[in-house]
Structure 1
Amino acid sequence: MIRTGEEYRASIQDGREVYVNGERVKDVTSHPMFKPLVDIRARIYDMQHDEQTRHVMAYEEDGEWNAVANKLPLTQGDWWDKRRATDTVLEDIGGIVTRVGDETVGEMWSLFDGQDLLNEVDPQFSANIRTHIAKVLRADPFHVSANTDPKGDRSKPPQEQDPDMLLHVVKEVDAGIIVRGAKYETAAAYANQAFTKPTIANWGNAAYSDYAVGFICELGSPGLKYICRTGFAGRAPADDYPLSNKFDEVDTLVIFDDVLIPWENVLFYRHTKAAAFIRATLHRYSAFAFVQRNLKLADMMIGAALFNARQTGLDKQQAVQEKLSTLAVYREGINAHLTAAISLPERSPGGLMMPNQSLLYTGRVLACSQLHEMMHITRELCGGQICVTPDKASFDAPETAPWLNKFYSVNENWVADDRRRLLAFARDMLNSDYAGHRLTFQLFAQSPPFAHLAAVHRNFDWDGPLDFVRKAAGLSDRVLGKTDHASGDKAVSQWFSKDAAVRTAAE
């Protein structure tokens, strides 16, 4: 059943070995670097019980309430529900959080689609993924993802350097496998479990490898050590950095010091084909949640830019309106891709309902590749005062407050305090250490740009344009290399072959 916020807090007070700033953390639920995100995750759990939000955040099945975020997507409607639930969370907390579970649980659904492949290795692995998906549905854990390794010298295979640079199996025992190495995991220090899988995709000709392992790691397991980067919370006053102090999701180097992974938690092992499959399909579902965050960030940038332009009357100028329109085009481009991805869904190999893969991945490229440009346009529209405005203490101090009230009050609608708050919000969103971190994080959380384009290449329907040109130019079937080539109506025919209930709902 769905958990409460207090149940979540209790679940991570398990004595785990967490370090930040060179010191061991006694309690991640109260430490100032972690508490803001722990509180937000607890709030999400409580929203599933709150009478005002439960109908959006949870659903009833067999007499029990379960989290919408964890629900297996079987229909188009499930994706509308997930989108609505995420929007409700982000609007309730007043900002953006990414690693809170709804984006990473989708990675397990990709393994659900690969059960035939897992059965080639061991039927038990296929059973394990079904068991763990059921566990997520019923137990409602805070589930994150472990992906990137330290890697070491990337010009060498792992066997030719320190083998621990990539997480690997060191031995098998009756109870399971023993793994050693390290992974970077955002939010791991205050989560319950992580889907842990390999980074590398180029296995060469190897059919088997100790590095080709994927499993569910219980984050309270013995042998785990969490070495966290310094957080942004508490570095500067919250009044001056409202986003840094509330929404920093702390990244962690998780050390696996001979950690036992029970057999029932092993999802694939010593099978490079399975590892390559999960690398290729990792974001089949989770990309939707990531791109939805970009949409909300676009809203934040538009709001900050428009408020700054309106307070001084600059929104009447054509040059300013053009820049605002550029932000709007970016925002609506993301919105259109998300909406179309749900409206034209696809059945997965495992029978789940996927967002349209080509539309989802091209939307991700749009959202990520233009983000830095949109941030700079927003900086322009906010003006130079976001980098020169004094802090709140100066607005409060008796000696300086009168002067700042004089020069920062525009009219009766925009007094100094509101203007300071807006400028602080914009500065933190665009110019702070936190802002730079979030921009860089796009290259980590959603994979690097070359992987984005590779996903587009794998999922775009190239047959349609080829066949259209073949017919328009009067070319023979020989140019396609085969005579039974799919027609240009491939995408449409695939859509109308979907089950009638989904089609009717979409229409």
Structure 2
Amino acid sequence: MIRTGQDYLDSLAADRDVWVDGERVKDIATHPAFAPIVGLRARIYDMAHEAGTSDVLSYLDERTGERNSVANKLPKTQQDWVDKRAAIDAVLDEARGVVTRVGDETVGEMWSLYDGQDMLNEVDSRFSANIRRHVDRAVREDPFHVSANTDPKGDRSKRPQDQDPDMLLHVVRETDSGIVVRGAKYETAAAYANQAFTKPTIANWGDAELSDYAVGFILDMNARGLKYLCRSGFAGRRKPEDYPLSNRVDEVDTLVIFDDVEIPWEDVLFYRHTRAATYIRATLHRYSALPFTQRNLRLADLMIGAALWNVRQTGLEKQPAVQEKLAQLACYREGINAHLTAAIAMGQTSPGGLLMPEQSLLYTGRVLATTQLPAMMHLARELCGGQICITPDAASFANPDTGPWLEKYYSINENWVAEDRRKLLAFARDLLNSDYAGHRLTFQLFAQSPPFAHLAAVYRNFDWDGPLDLVRSAADLSDRVTGGAA
């Protein structure tokens, strides 16, 4: 049954070994670095129960009569995807910023493995039964689900077996109850999540058919042997009135240490078979690329809004050069939206009987959203102007000695007084110029995989036969000519 915010807070074990800024965290829910994002995740759960948002974030399961999360629902129709997009927008509206790792963006990775049940059955029939059970559990129990993917990697010119073996997560032994794993994974939101789909990174397994590094499982984040080493949070470091996004929607990234953690057999999704690991790497974002890319759409809207308010404040909206830059931002925004909309409209039936977004459109949309983001952020900076990097903090505006001068020079007219001007510049600075903004830019570029892997996904899913056949006909090539394997 769909959870409440308190259910979620109660699920976070008090004895988790979480560290940040060199100190162990006593209470994740109240620690300054975690409290805003943990509170927001709890708020999302509560929204599913409230009259104004319940029908957007939840649905009534006709089979069980229970209300479940729209985010965790297996997508079988176009309407399911339309509903998921609406749910994401509702969450981002509540956050008043962009949050990525809140569950909906990662649960789809399990659906990719759900599509691979025939392959899993060839390896071990237990594994396909495990993925079906966990997909069903995600629907019924509504855990906060994240994804553990990236390892420290070490020297990538060497095989993992030829260096410190713990650089990549691997199995060290089997027990009657399960497998014991050792190593480390980077994962955003791990310290305050319930479970993670833990899987291998892009690795050089050589010609081995079996490898202790080719392992995937569902990880209980309260399991023994886990240690969470978190980067410094942006929340609490500076005042919220000066850095509103940093203090509201920062998602804390974590190096999760697996110190001989036992994974029960019922939670193992594949093990040792490199074929299964290769399959999941190739299809991992078949579904989750859509909600991930939709975050870039919201980021584009925030940049457009911040830029447009700034040029309207200063009376520059009618300038052709300004309009040209705004139009470029609009093209970026609508390009993302068009890819997402078309990917749903042209959705395809997956091997597991689900409706997956049209893959070529989805992956090319992701490339557009991520590769153009740095240029679009710079355009938005130009439109916001240099004051976003030189404006004093809120305390200076409030001080009786300095405030009158700032009131004089930051008031534009009777509609735009100094305080509103300061708030807009502070928001734009945090969105585009702050350390949080730089972190968000890097995160969007690498969070699902590096740019070369995004392009590799396009290469694997684009219909190369169409252009080949077109030119065969236009150039009157003989039937003996073959295109080869794209």
- 8 A contact 2:234–2:247 mirrored in 1: yes
Q: CA deviation at 1:120?
A: 1.3
2:310 — aligned with what? 308
1:379 — aligned with what? 381
Does the alignment pair 1:396 with 2:414? no
For residue 78 of structure 1, the aligned residue among 77, 80, 83 is: 80
1:260 — aligned with what? 262
Distance in 2, matches of 1:217 and 1:475, equals 55
Q: CA deviation at 1:200?
A: 2.4
1:497 — aligned with what? none
- 8 A contact 2:160–2:204 mirrored in 1: no
Once the two structures are superposed, the pairs formed by residues 278-297 of structure 1 within 5 Å of their partners are 278-297=280-299
Q: CA deviation at 1:481?
A: 5.6
Distance in 2, matches of 1:2 and 1:155, equals 46
Once the two structures are superposed, the pairs formed by residues 407-422 of structure 1 within 5 Å of their partners are 407-422=409-424
1:38 — aligned with what? 38
SS in 1 for 2:185: strand
SS in 2 for 1:253: strand
Q: CA deviation at 1:474?
A: 1.2
User: Pairwise CA RMSD of aligned residues?
Assistant: 1.0
For residue 326 of structure 1, the aligned residue among 303, 314, 328 is: 328
1:154 — aligned with what? 156
SS in 1 for 2:76: coil
For residue 108 of structure 2, the aligned residue among 102, 106, 109 is: 106
Deviations 1:353-372 (A, max 9, x none): 00110000000110100000
1:494 — aligned with what? none
Shifted more, 472-481 versus 166-175: the winner is 472-481
Once the two structures are superposed, the pairs formed by residues 351-366 of structure 1 within 5 Å of their partners are 351-366=353-368
Distance in 1, matches of 2:479 and 2:254, equals 54
Q: CA deviation at 1:442?
A: 2.0
- 8 A contact 1:13–1:27 mirrored in 2: no
Shifted more, 468-477 versus 74-83: the winner is 468-477
SS in 1 for 2:108: helix
SS in 2 for 1:289: helix
Deviations 1:226-256 (A, max 9, x none): 0000000111100000000111100000000
2:24 — aligned with what? 24
Does the alignment pair 1:205 with 2:203? no
Structure 2: segments with no counterpart, 5+ residues: none
Deviations 1:409-456 (A, max 9, x none): 101111100000000000000110000001111233121110011000
Distance in 1, matches of 2:314 and 2:151, equals 49
SS in 2 for 1:179: strand
Shifted more, 269-278 versus 89-98: the winner is 89-98
- 8 A contact 2:159–2:204 mirrored in 1: no
Q: CA deviation at 1:477?
A: 2.0
Deviations 1:167-223 (A, max 9, x none): 000000000000000000100000000000000244221100000000000000000
SS in 2 for 1:375: helix
SS in 1 for 2:480: helix
- 8 A contact 1:189–1:252 mirrored in 2: yes
- 8 A contact 2:72–2:139 mirrored in 1: yes
- 8 A contact 2:371–2:445 mirrored in 1: no
Distance in 2, matches of 1:67 and 1:243, equals 26
Does the alignment pair 1:93 with 2:99? no
Percent identity of the aligned residues? 74
2:171 — aligned with what? 169
Amino acid of the structure 2 residue aligned with 1:291? T
Distance in 2, matches of 1:279 and 1:210, equals 16
Amino acid of the structure 2 residue aligned with 1:121? V
Deviations 1:246-278 (A, max 9, x none): 111000000000000000000000100000000
Q: CA deviation at 1:86?
A: 0.2
Q: CA deviation at 1:13?
A: 3.2
Once the two structures are superposed, the pairs formed by residues 165-244 of structure 1 within 5 Å of their partners are 165-244=167-246
- 8 A contact 2:348–2:358 mirrored in 1: yes
Distance in 1, matches of 2:47 and 2:71, equals 12
1:498 — aligned with what? none
- 8 A contact 1:13–1:28 mirrored in 2: no
Amino acid of the structure 1 residue aligned with 2:227? K
- 8 A contact 1:201–1:276 mirrored in 2: no
- 8 A contact 2:14–2:26 mirrored in 1: no
- 8 A contact 1:33–1:234 mirrored in 2: yes
Once the two structures are superposed, the pairs formed by residues 337-348 of structure 1 within 5 Å of their partners are 337-348=339-350
SS in 2 for 1:314: coil
Distance in 1, matches of 2:310 and 2:448, equals 31
Amino acid of the structure 1 residue aligned with 2:315? G
| Structure 1 stretches of 4+ moved >6 Å | none
- 8 A contact 2:195–2:218 mirrored in 1: yes
SS in 1 for 2:104: coil
Deviations 1:370-427 (A, max 9, x none): 0000000000000000000000000000001111111111011111000000000000
Distance in 1, matches of 2:159 and 2:420, equals 56
- 8 A contact 1:13–1:29 mirrored in 2: no
- 8 A contact 1:201–1:275 mirrored in 2: no
Deviations 1:89-142 (A, max 9, x none): 101221110000101000000000011111111000000000000110000000
Once the two structures are superposed, the pairs formed by residues 52-67 of structure 1 within 5 Å of their partners are 52-61=52-61, 62-67=64-69
Distance in 1, matches of 2:216 and 2:445, equals 22
SS in 1 for 2:26: coil
SS in 2 for 1:288: helix
Amino acid of the structure 2 residue aligned with 1:54? S
TM, length-normalised to structure 2 = 0.98
Amino acid of the structure 1 residue aligned with 2:220? E
Q: CA deviation at 1:480?
A: 2.1
Structure 1: segments with no counterpart, 5+ residues: 486-507
